Structure 1
Amino acid sequence: MSDRRLNGAATAGAHLDLSSSRAVHGIIDAPVATAPSAASIDPVLEDLLSFHPGWVTRSVTTHDPSGGNDDGYRAGVALEGEHRVLFHARGEGRITRIWMTAPRAELDKPDQELWIEIDGHTVFRGSPHDFFEGRGPWRSPLALGIDASSGAFTSYVPFAWSSEAKVRFRGVPIYYQVTYREGPGAASGPTPEALARFMAEDWTAALPARSHHQGPGPGAPLVLATGPATVSGLDLLIPAGRLKDLRVRIGGQAPVPASFFFGLASTGAEADGGWTPFRSALHAAWAPDASGAGRLATRLPIPLAEGEALSLEIAEGGEIKGIEAAVPLAPARPGVRLLARYSDQEAPGRETTMPFFESDEPLQFVALLEHISGGRLGDRLYLEGDEMIRTDGMSYPLQIGTGTEDYYNGGFYFIGAHSNPFSGQLRFLVLDPEDSWRNARFEHSLYRLHVADPIVSRSGMRFGMEAGPTGAYTPLRVRSLGLSYAFADHRVIGEQKVRARGPRRLARSAVDAERAAPRRRFRLREGRGITRIEVQRPPDARGLLLLRAYSAEKAPQTARVRLDGREVGVIHEMLANPVRPLAEDALWIDMLPGERGGDKRPVLEIDATSSPAPWSEVSYTLRFFSGPPAPQLTQGPAVKIFDAHDLPGGPFYVNDHSILQLPDGRWILTGIFRREPYRSDLEREFVLATAPGPGPERWIEAASPSFSMAPERFAARALADERWIWAPHVARDRDGSLVMVFHVGTHDPDRSGFRMARSRDGIHWAREGGTLFEDICVARDPILVRLGDLWVIYYTRCASRASPRSGVAYRTSPDLARWSPPAMALTLGPETAMPNSGHTESPFVFERKGWFYLTFTSYPVDYDATFVHRSRSPFAFPPRPIARLRAHAAEWVAEGGDFDKGRLFFTHAGAGKGGVFLQELFGL
């Protein structure tokens, strides 16, 4: 993910009169009109403001399958030699968190080994101590040892995969959790470097100056900002002792205690009048100064709709004299809201969960803050309570925990107070600690930030947690705040229920969750075959959520899912539960225009013919969603940014090319370069041109060439064994160096090669290694991108020798050296069959606003015919385009590198064009 921060900041103080708002005695009684400009939202947080309906967020844990408290490792997924398989997934996905613990003596046993395999390649194999304690490829804060994580190993290293992922362990991990997401688009997210930077940076250093305000007072809230705008953070200075009286209100929602909203610096509890300095990835508090003023800050974005206000209120009968506040503003985000749900409840005294967050809206859950108090003397069994997170109306929780402290990334009731970027126990109070804590009561202030692993639900969520081992622990007081972004563009518009048909057998089971859940009778069908469902979709449906109820008695179960013959995903269940087998799972499917209209109903196929264990079916629910319409794209006027026609010795042409900005602000352009007329078999040089910053928006304004030949003239020339070289693409490696991948010509069209070069400055290039891989159908035109720790090369290739339909293939790699076998990201129809896959030349893939876009040129249609396809997944694009552009060999750049929000441009070139051109794209 590129760094999408903008320079500068806009700040609105609550006293500021930017239009017609009035200040009366220092307290605003009218909304503040704001003019958002350039306030910065970190790109990791930006990603939370876009909805990801394709993500099905889950966890596999060692919870007690009977619904009790006998957590701990059992059979796992499988046993492979001396290794236990802790996790196994198929399809597309991303591991977002690995947590594990055991008694210290068990953890320290020799010869234990953690083995992580992604798309068939080992990305780590070695000591778990080395992995979590920073002696492997990843350091803190991505990987945390027992002392840092207060009793457990914790990793936020993102592991993305396109087809398969597996985590093995030699030894007995006792307790573990792997949090992950699966489904279309699930592999996307920040790289390890971007995530580590976000977690470790001192974000408080960039907060703007605060302004002084008089209130709030009784019945007179202090309005900090009004929409339309996005508050990109808050920085307050208040009398520390009055924090317990302060409330934060977002729009028409109920107010929430400011102590929770700012990360629990102080709870205001009777036994805790103190104040805890800390800094997490979202919240911060500083020790009160000599005057007793305490400082609090958050950088959690708060979108505000038209007329919606963010305000501070005081508890009834109170008043705070003198608050300093800074409220940086960013542009409004239509259709996005921050839900803040606070609860103060006593444990229910029965075997169930306490509700922490409930909503029926499409959402992404981002944080839970919790304060626990009031337990029994000398007893902390309440920390045995498991979280149970249900999404999309399911009875089965796709995330079931193994203990409250485990959810907060600790272990064995924590080592003590601590603060980490995404989780911590800010406060552990022992009241009456004498007599070995036998008469003590305890208080805990806990937080878990789901920034790297947001919990996604398309049609509502229920987040509950048990009080104690089975939920029946009393007495206990629990105060909590759940934070989530809700999205207005996706709404349920219909539902279709289908029960399994054919021979079925009767079974009984409770859902694997609360201990007291009643057993249900259900009929299920088992086997290996293809289930076909005629889809009764509403005309306006743009998305479909497929929900399956099944029996998990046997595992693993796997099925490929197709809609009208189009591959739309994989359902793979890794764990067996013969004790309580009734379970549910889900898959999101984007529906295309041809699948939403006409008289013929589309057919959904669940193909389990290759399932290792018999595929089981109780019923299916097809839930249909509205959504934003397909974009209407237009392209602006073309500006020549590199003139190859008038170069000495010319005219020359540039064809497949690549463009990239260097760290010093300059830009480089490299591409196929040859003197006219066009002869692809004689293209043996890559031109090297440079341009000063800032970038494409200025090049459009200049309306004249900005690039000129570098003194070095060429980035690469063909070697003796290379008949030609084509289509260089340049990307930035983890160490900051630049990597170029390109095609090399061979005598055998079914053994086209791909090679690599590297540069530290973008100017001087050196070949690295030999041939990366070879492929069929004059495979060519590579583009190199990163998804988490996964490298992906996309390139032009036909479907197979037997079926030479034009398509785009991809391969994945953990290290740019070992590459997976080819898979097809796109295959067009039989009318595109050609020996060289000519309908899908010059592919380019980028992500924007929750969608992946694939563009390519189809020269048999027209030399300037570039088609645009989009998908939730970077590994599966539908064959029907959403638009056609006038361009050849298009490459894409965004203003400031921000593909989510920045202005979008594409360059294009080709024989007879005389150089490279730039155009802006509108509507995406």
Structure 2
Amino acid sequence: MHTGTHDARAAGARLETFVSRAARYLLGSSLAITPSAASIDPVLESLLSFHPGWITRSVTTHDPAGGNDDGYRPGVALEGEHRVLFHARGEGRITRIWMTAPRAELEKPGQELWIEIDGRTVFRGSHRDFFEGRGLWTSPLALGVDASSGAFTSYVPFAWSSEAKIRFRGVPIYYQVTYREGPGAASGPSSEELAQFMAEDWTRALPAPSRQQAPSPGAPLVLAEGPATVSGLVLHIPAASLKDLEVRIGGQPPVPASFFFGLASASTDSDGGWATFRSALHAAWAPDAGGTGRLATRLPVPLAEGEALSLEVAQGGAIARLEAAVAVAPARRGVRLLAQYRDQTAPGRETTMPLFESDEPLQLVALLKHLSGGLPNDRTYLEGDEMIRTDGMSLPLQIGTGTEDYFNGGFYFLGAHSNAFSGLHRFLVIDPEEGWKRARFVHSLYRLHVADPIVSRSGLRFGIEAGPTGAYTPLQVRSLGLAYTFSDHRVIGEQEVRVQGRRHRVRSAVDAERSEKPRIFRFREGRGITRIEVACPPEARGLLLLRAYSAAKAPQTARVRLDGREVGTIHEMQANPVRSIAEDALWIDLRPGQCGAGRRPVIEVDATGSPEPWSEGGYRLRFFSGPPAPQLTHGPAVEILDTDHLPEGAAYVNDHTTIQLRDGRWMLTGIFNAEGQPPETERVFVLATAPGPGPARWHDAAAPSFSLAPERFSTRALADERWIWAPHVVHDRDGSLVMIFHVGTPDPDRSGFRIARSRDGFTWTREAGTLFEDICVARDPMLVRLGELWVVYYTRCASLASRQSGVAYRTSTDLARWSPPAMALTLGPETAMHNSGHTESPFVFARQGWFYLTITSYPVDYDATFVYRSRSPFSFPPHAVARLRAHAAEWVGEGGSLGAGRLFFTHAGRGKGGVFLQELFGL
């Protein structure tokens, strides 16, 4: 819908163009390797952007006393026949569910798993049906005991905007739920996108190696030099030479090639360490008849100016021959791959063995581990718990129940296996005679944190116990940790905040290693509001709020506000009266100009509604720098659909949508009407098509790409629909197309929203009547998937009492039942109108760790589109970061992805004569 007229000028002082420099490929021994150009899968692309708002955590059945007495203990609550395994509030995303028990327990009848998101049930039924693929999700997302080697494992992504809960009827003796919470934590691929990534044979897209001269001592073979990103690497090498090959990234120490390519094998292994497997990142093929093995990886390796990815010969080694090929994508600014290889023996005391440590802002994406040695017929070293500490916290926010559990197995595994994100692809039994009485074992293990990267803003310590308490010996542990680090974020200050009032003394150890000594901890508790005046440096762009508290009582909940605006929720679901000292954290973004020059933002921690008394030992505020705000500009407009020269006369398209169909063609539909007619007469949606491949081709062709389809219209208004506006079309999980649109009604405060479905994009059928109604001529819906959660954004005022223009959202798990409305954006009192005209045509998309919301404000100018950004898709500060010249902008990316690559927006409107496309620069 629109009502205003006159020009607007786009903000931005210059046009930024993306220039990709060709990477230079050097070599040792006078040899050139020709790279192959390639793109990076969107799931991997997300790892190359920092997500400081994610607080990555787990809730598990680890022993609260720090020993090895893992197993079910009381969780948050008992609700009827169900035990509450997991309960979270605020924004978040479950990334993994793991559970196991003795086989007889798993097969007992009457057990039930119940998963609820934002008050809606997404699964309720047999836990075996859920994990064994008889529900909505199948392998590789959900794995049964045999496939996951001793346990149930799920990577089904469950995102939520306000609350999530997992209940279980029965006794889940061991379980883990890994998740993230905080601003932006709901983002990520849908189950279909993740399943496709996990299942695809990505090795087919890699370049074929050509015969090459091998590196020699002192003469490394340089595969690629930055600025560039290596997006794929293939090697053919004699099996006997693998032990002598190392990989070096920039100036880091080299790492064994067997680990870099996912084999996690040691040079002393009798079989050379080879196995045939394919994970989501690595692949290997056992040596052929000629003794040559193959290795491949699609792990992106960003290289800065002057950095190189090279192959080297280990000290004392020799390599006779080698074939290699690399695929290369554009460079990524400010990100590098950190590879830490360690070769150590178990320390023989109650502690964790450090496997990865860094003080940098990072996202851990993989851990590969090789275990050997050990006592005869004894694998209790697999009982060691992982303990993952972030941001200098004493409390590990991820504490496991055993090494085999961390690697998604159970009961010391059922044998060798490989899955997309985890596996034991080599299990050797040395001296297996006499029922393994003298046997020792070799394990090659991997866990890929692609769907659940472990985020830390100011350092990470990852350790795993050797044995039940860490004291197991002898044991040889070789490991490789891989993480992306980000140079644009740095700690620039810290503020200690002491709480006033009566405080209690508690003597407790931290909930971690059994050897932790108790210490005195002071805290206060109550249900009130704690106000913190923030002394942040002028250049601060974010802060981490760290709380020390007592976890003796749970649940504890507080809403957090910054200068009166909601910025997050802190909710602790699980009590530990044995070791009560605990910590948690929340990330808060700061705007430019919010700090310094005498400004003191105020944080309010509002625990007035906490179920149990809120506990406070004190707070730390850690301040961070960040990259500058984007400078957005756009290129010239290209007409992609002409409606000015139709046989029946000029017409216009307004609020519209584009989507690629299954046959490769693109469809465009939107409001369609003859020029000069009022919006109340808009009763059809136009239907136009264009051939593939998509927006980059439309833009570069500089000519209309869309033409009206023979059907002419996708949808016509029904008798009870006074008008229809603003269709938005997306793919559903079953492959069908879903169109959501506004329906005009006599009462402007009861505007309706409906859905239609299509299998081909041309024939549409209404479904389920009116979804919901809302106020202020609510309109312009935009639909998006976050994991298994549907979110619809639409234009609406803040309330009937305060008609400030805004953007509302609702969530659903089935497109039929919707949550009550909440406001994603509310503008100031000067925007109060009967129809929320300052926030028309909302569109939300994620890119490089941020969410962007664009809206059109016709009272400012018919072509005034404003851009807002936030870490969270559910809360946008009312401060625009850019203004574009466009009306009813819709966004589309190169290759269909808005997360990376070239970015375009389409726009249209009355008097425009068609639909236009422009490229955006600066994101």
| TM-score between both structures, scaled by the size of structure 1 | 0.95
CA contact (8 A) 1:265 1:277 kept: no
Shift of residue 484 of structure 1? Answer: 0.7
In the alignment, the residues of structure 2 paired with residue 22 and residue 136 of structure 1 have an alpha-carbon distance, to the nearest angstrom, of: 52
Matches within 5 A, 1:694-773: 694-773=693-772
SS at match of 1:208: coil
In the alignment, the residues of structure 2 paired with residue 42 and residue 307 of structure 1 have an alpha-carbon distance, to the nearest angstrom, of: 25
Quick one: higher RCO (CA 8 Å, sep 6+), 1 or 2?
2
In the alignment, the residues of structure 1 paired with residue 697 and residue 133 of structure 2 have an alpha-carbon distance, to the nearest angstrom, of: 43
Shift of residue 272 of structure 1? Answer: 4.9
Query: 2:114 is matched with which residue?
Result: 115
In the alignment, the residues of structure 1 paired with residue 807 and residue 410 of structure 2 have an alpha-carbon distance, to the nearest angstrom, of: 47
Shift of residue 21 of structure 1? Answer: 5.0
Shift of residue 377 of structure 1? Answer: 1.9
Shift of residue 290 of structure 1? Answer: 1.4
Note the alpha carbon deviations across 1:583-614, whole angstroms, 9 max, x for none.
Answer: 11111111112423542211111111111111
Distance 1:602 1:365, change over 3 A: same
Q: Which of 238-247 and 509-518 deviates more? A: 238-247
Matches within 5 A, 1:819-898: 819-898=818-897
In the alignment, the residues of structure 1 paired with residue 236 and residue 669 of structure 2 have an alpha-carbon distance, to the nearest angstrom, of: 52
Query: 1:153 is matched with which residue?
Result: 152
Matches within 5 A, 1:615-626: 615-626=614-625
Note the alpha carbon deviations across 1:253-272, whole angstroms, 9 max, x for none.
Answer: 11111111111264322555
Letter of the structure 2 residue corresponding to residue 96 of structure 1: T
In the alignment, the residues of structure 2 paired with residue 730 and residue 596 of structure 1 have an alpha-carbon distance, to the nearest angstrom, of: 42
CA contact (8 A) 2:669 2:714 kept: yes
Shift of residue 230 of structure 1? Answer: 1.1
CA contact (8 A) 1:62 1:73 kept: yes
Letter of the structure 2 residue corresponding to residue 669 of structure 1: L
In the alignment, the residues of structure 2 paired with residue 570 and residue 269 of structure 1 have an alpha-carbon distance, to the nearest angstrom, of: 51
Query: 1:496 is matched with which residue?
Result: 495
Note the alpha carbon deviations across 1:156-187, whole angstroms, 9 max, x for none.
Answer: 11111111110000000000000101111111
Shift of residue 852 of structure 1? Answer: 0.6
Letter of the structure 2 residue corresponding to residue 684 of structure 1: R
Query: 1:685 is matched with which residue?
Result: 684
SS at match of 2:51: coil
In the alignment, the residues of structure 1 paired with residue 328 and residue 511 of structure 2 have an alpha-carbon distance, to the nearest angstrom, of: 45
| TM-score between both structures, scaled by the size of structure 2 | 0.96
Letter of the structure 1 residue corresponding to residue 360 of structure 2: E
CA contact (8 A) 1:676 1:912 kept: yes
Query: 1:3 is matched with which residue?
Result: none
CA contact (8 A) 1:19 1:33 kept: no
Query: 1:130 is matched with which residue?
Result: 129
In the alignment, the residues of structure 1 paired with residue 698 and residue 213 of structure 2 have an alpha-carbon distance, to the nearest angstrom, of: 49
Shift of residue 641 of structure 1? Answer: 2.4
SS at match of 1:197: helix
Letter of the structure 1 residue corresponding to residue 502 of structure 2: P
Query: 1:577 is matched with which residue?
Result: 576
Query: 2:222 is matched with which residue?
Result: 223
CA contact (8 A) 2:58 2:179 kept: yes
CA contact (8 A) 2:25 2:222 kept: no
In the alignment, the residues of structure 2 paired with residue 439 and residue 79 of structure 1 have an alpha-carbon distance, to the nearest angstrom, of: 46
RMSD in angstroms over aligned alpha carbons?
1.7
In the alignment, the residues of structure 2 paired with residue 209 and residue 858 of structure 1 have an alpha-carbon distance, to the nearest angstrom, of: 52
SS at match of 1:768: strand
In the alignment, the residues of structure 2 paired with residue 41 and residue 912 of structure 1 have an alpha-carbon distance, to the nearest angstrom, of: 40
Note the alpha carbon deviations across 1:663-686, whole angstroms, 9 max, x for none.
Answer: 333222211122232412222111
Distance 1:622 1:265, change over 3 A: closer
In the alignment, the residues of structure 1 paired with residue 921 and residue 234 of structure 2 have an alpha-carbon distance, to the nearest angstrom, of: 36
In the alignment, the residues of structure 1 paired with residue 612 and residue 215 of structure 2 have an alpha-carbon distance, to the nearest angstrom, of: 63
Distance 1:678 1:614, change over 3 A: farther
Shift of residue 386 of structure 1? Answer: 0.1
CA contact (8 A) 1:265 1:285 kept: no
CA contact (8 A) 1:678 1:911 kept: no
CA contact (8 A) 2:237 2:294 kept: yes
CA contact (8 A) 1:742 1:755 kept: yes
SS at match of 1:671: strand
SS at match of 1:209: coil
Distance 1:329 1:20, change over 3 A: closer
Q: Which of 175-184 and 442-451 deviates more? A: 442-451
Matches within 5 A, 1:223-302: 223-264=222-263, 266-270=265-269, 272-273=271-272, 275-302=274-301
Q: Give the ranges of 4+ consecutive aligned residues of structure 1 lying more than 6 Å apart after TM superposition.
A: none
Distance 1:22 1:256, change over 3 A: closer
In the alignment, the residues of structure 2 paired with residue 245 and residue 895 of structure 1 have an alpha-carbon distance, to the nearest angstrom, of: 42
Shift of residue 463 of structure 1? Answer: 0.2
Note the alpha carbon deviations across 1:814-851, whole angstroms, 9 max, x for none.
Answer: 12112111111111122222222111111011111111
In the alignment, the residues of structure 2 paired with residue 284 and residue 37 of structure 1 have an alpha-carbon distance, to the nearest angstrom, of: 19
In the alignment, the residues of structure 2 paired with residue 58 and residue 214 of structure 1 have an alpha-carbon distance, to the nearest angstrom, of: 47
Query: 2:538 is matched with which residue?
Result: 539
Shift of residue 40 of structure 1? Answer: 2.8
SS at match of 2:842: strand
Query: 1:802 is matched with which residue?
Result: 801
Query: 1:472 is matched with which residue?
Result: 471
In the alignment, the residues of structure 1 paired with residue 898 and residue 564 of structure 2 have an alpha-carbon distance, to the nearest angstrom, of: 31
In the alignment, the residues of structure 2 paired with residue 266 and residue 445 of structure 1 have an alpha-carbon distance, to the nearest angstrom, of: 6
CA contact (8 A) 2:338 2:482 kept: yes
Q: Which of 546-555 and 649-658 deviates more? A: 649-658
> Are residues 1:59 and 2:51 paired?
no
Shift of residue 774 of structure 1? Answer: 1.0
In the alignment, the residues of structure 2 paired with residue 60 and residue 78 of structure 1 have an alpha-carbon distance, to the nearest angstrom, of: 14
Note the alpha carbon deviations across 1:364-384, whole angstroms, 9 max, x for none.
Answer: 101111111111122211111
Note the alpha carbon deviations across 1:223-258, whole angstroms, 9 max, x for none.
Answer: 222111111122111111221122111111111111
Distance 1:20 1:44, change over 3 A: closer
Shift of residue 615 of structure 1? Answer: 0.7
Letter of the structure 1 residue corresponding to residue 40 of structure 2: I
Letter of the structure 1 residue corresponding to residue 801 of structure 2: A
Extract unaligned runs of 5+ from structure 2. Answer: 1-19
In the alignment, the residues of structure 2 paired with residue 376 and residue 508 of structure 1 have an alpha-carbon distance, to the nearest angstrom, of: 38
CA contact (8 A) 2:27 2:33 kept: no
Distance 1:270 1:81, change over 3 A: same
Query: 2:11 is matched with which residue?
Result: none
Shift of residue 915 of structure 1? Answer: 2.3
Shift of residue 308 of structure 1? Answer: 1.1
Query: 1:368 is matched with which residue?
Result: 367
Query: 1:649 is matched with which residue?
Result: 648
CA contact (8 A) 1:265 1:275 kept: no
Identical residues among aligned pairs (%): 79
Shift of residue 320 of structure 1? Answer: 0.7
Shift of residue 330 of structure 1? Answer: 1.4
Letter of the structure 1 residue corresponding to residue 381 of structure 2: Y
Distance 1:223 1:703, change over 3 A: closer
SS at match of 1:75: coil
CA contact (8 A) 2:728 2:740 kept: yes
Aligned residues: 903
In the alignment, the residues of structure 2 paired with residue 365 and residue 592 of structure 1 have an alpha-carbon distance, to the nearest angstrom, of: 27
CA contact (8 A) 2:242 2:272 kept: no
Query: 1:628 is matched with which residue?
Result: 627
SS at match of 1:350: coil
Distance 1:597 1:704, change over 3 A: farther
CA contact (8 A) 1:265 1:278 kept: no
SS at match of 1:84: strand
In the alignment, the residues of structure 1 paired with residue 37 and residue 531 of structure 2 have an alpha-carbon distance, to the nearest angstrom, of: 51
Matches within 5 A, 1:405-444: 405-444=404-443
In the alignment, the residues of structure 1 paired with residue 503 and residue 27 of structure 2 have an alpha-carbon distance, to the nearest angstrom, of: 71
Letter of the structure 2 residue corresponding to residue 772 of structure 1: L
In the alignment, the residues of structure 2 paired with residue 814 and residue 768 of structure 1 have an alpha-carbon distance, to the nearest angstrom, of: 16
Shift of residue 219 of structure 1? Answer: 2.1
SS at match of 1:916: strand
> Are residues 1:139 and 2:138 paired?
yes
In the alignment, the residues of structure 1 paired with residue 796 and residue 532 of structure 2 have an alpha-carbon distance, to the nearest angstrom, of: 33
In the alignment, the residues of structure 1 paired with residue 81 and residue 302 of structure 2 have an alpha-carbon distance, to the nearest angstrom, of: 51
Matches within 5 A, 1:64-213: 64-213=63-212
> Are residues 1:568 and 2:567 paired?
yes
Letter of the structure 2 residue corresponding to residue 606 of structure 1: V
In the alignment, the residues of structure 2 paired with residue 853 and residue 805 of structure 1 have an alpha-carbon distance, to the nearest angstrom, of: 21
In the alignment, the residues of structure 1 paired with residue 254 and residue 901 of structure 2 have an alpha-carbon distance, to the nearest angstrom, of: 34
Letter of the structure 2 residue corresponding to residue 573 of structure 1: E
CA contact (8 A) 1:547 1:584 kept: yes
CA contact (8 A) 1:37 1:331 kept: no
